[in-house]
Structure 1
Amino acid sequence: MSTSTIPTIDLSLWRTGDRQDRDRLAVTVDQALERAGFLLVTGHGVHPDLPAAIRTAARTFFHQPADAKLPFLAKTGQYGWSGPGAVATGRAEGVMTPPDLVETWSAAPGPYDATAGRPEPEMLPDSWPSRPPALRPLLTQYVRSMRALADELLELLAAALRRTLDFFTRHTTRPDWTLTLNWYPAINTTGAPRPGQFRVGPHTDFGTITVLDRQPGKGGLQIHTEDSGWQDAPYDPEALTVNIGDLMARWTGDRWRSGRHRVLAPPADARSEDLLSLVYFFDCDPHTVVESLPAPIGRVAHSPVTARAYVRSKVAEIALR
Structure 2
Amino acid sequence: MSASIPVIDLGPWLSGDPDARARTAAAVDAALSRAGFLLITGHGVGAAERERVRAAARAFFALPTEAKQRYSVGVGGRGWLAKGAEANGYSEGTPTPPDLKESWTVGADQPTGDAEIDAFWFQPNHWPQAEVPQLRTEAEDYLGRMRTVADEVLRLLAAALGQDPGFFTDHTGHPTYTLNINWYPGTGVVGEPVPGQFRIGPHTDFGTVTLLDRQQGKGGLQVYVAPEDGGDGWQDAPWEPDALTVNIGDLMARWTGGRWKSGRHRVLPPSPDAPEEDLMSLVYFYECDPHTQVTPVGGPTGGPTAYRTVDSSAYLRAKLDAITVK
Question: Normalised by the size of structure 2, how large is the TM-score?
Answer: 0.93
Partner of 2:44: 45
Aligned in 2, Cα 1:262/1:77: closer, same or farther, shift over 3 Å?
closer
1:271 and 1:3 map into 2 onto residues whose CA distance is: 27
Partner of 1:144: 144
Partner of 2:297: 293
- Secondary structure of the residue aligned to 1:166 is coil
Aligned in 2, Cα 1:75/1:129: closer, same or farther, shift over 3 Å?
farther
1:72/1:129 contact within 8 Å kept: no
Partner of 2:320: 315
2:81 and 2:43 map into 1 onto residues whose CA distance is: 29
1:247/1:290 contact within 8 Å kept: yes
2:313 and 2:179 map into 1 onto residues whose CA distance is: 16
Deviates more, 1:216-225 or 1:67-76: 67-76
Please state how far the C-alpha of 1:124 moved relative to its aligned partner: 3.3
Partner of 1:162: 162
Partner of 1:205: 205
- Secondary structure of the residue aligned to 1:276 is strand
1:266 and 1:79 map into 2 onto residues whose CA distance is: 27
Partner of 1:104: 103
2:49 and 2:233 map into 1 onto residues whose CA distance is: 34
1:176/1:308 contact within 8 Å kept: no
Aligned to 1:242, which of 237, 243, 246? 246
Partner of 2:255: 251
1:80 and 1:104 map into 2 onto residues whose CA distance is: 8
Aligned in 2, Cα 1:289/1:135: closer, same or farther, shift over 3 Å?
same
Partner of 2:264: 260
Residues 105-149 of structure 1: CA distance to partner in whole angstroms, max 9, x if unpaired? 00011243569xxxxx99832343422210001011001100111
Please state how far the C-alpha of 1:204 moved relative to its aligned partner: 0.3
1:256 and 1:75 map into 2 onto residues whose CA distance is: 31
Residues 233-273 of structure 1: CA distance to partner in whole angstroms, max 9, x if unpaired? 00000100000000000000000000000000011221221
Partner of 2:176: 176
Structure 2 residue 220 is the aligned partner of structure 1 residue 220: yes
2:83 and 2:142 map into 1 onto residues whose CA distance is: 25
Q: Which contiguous aligned blocks of 4+ residues in structure 1 show a shift greater than 4 angstroms?
A: none
AA aligned opposite 2:290: P
Please state how far the C-alpha of 1:7 moved relative to its aligned partner: 1.1
Q: Can you give the 5+ residue segments of structure 2 that lack an aligned partner in the other structure?
A: 115-120
- Secondary structure of the residue aligned to 1:21 is helix
AA aligned opposite 1:316: D
1:187/1:267 contact within 8 Å kept: no
AA aligned opposite 1:71: R
- Secondary structure of the residue aligned to 1:223 is strand
- Secondary structure of the residue aligned to 1:167 is coil
Partner of 1:303: 308
2:213 and 2:124 map into 1 onto residues whose CA distance is: 21
**How many residues are treated as equivalent by the alignment?**
315
Please state how far the C-alpha of 1:57 moved relative to its aligned partner: 1.1
AA aligned opposite 2:143: V
2:71/2:126 contact within 8 Å kept: no
2:76/2:320 contact within 8 Å kept: no
- Secondary structure of the residue aligned to 1:178 is strand
- Give % identity: 51
Partner of 2:29: 30
AA aligned opposite 1:31: A
1:294/1:301 contact within 8 Å kept: no
2:78/2:123 contact within 8 Å kept: no
1:275 and 1:244 map into 2 onto residues whose CA distance is: 23
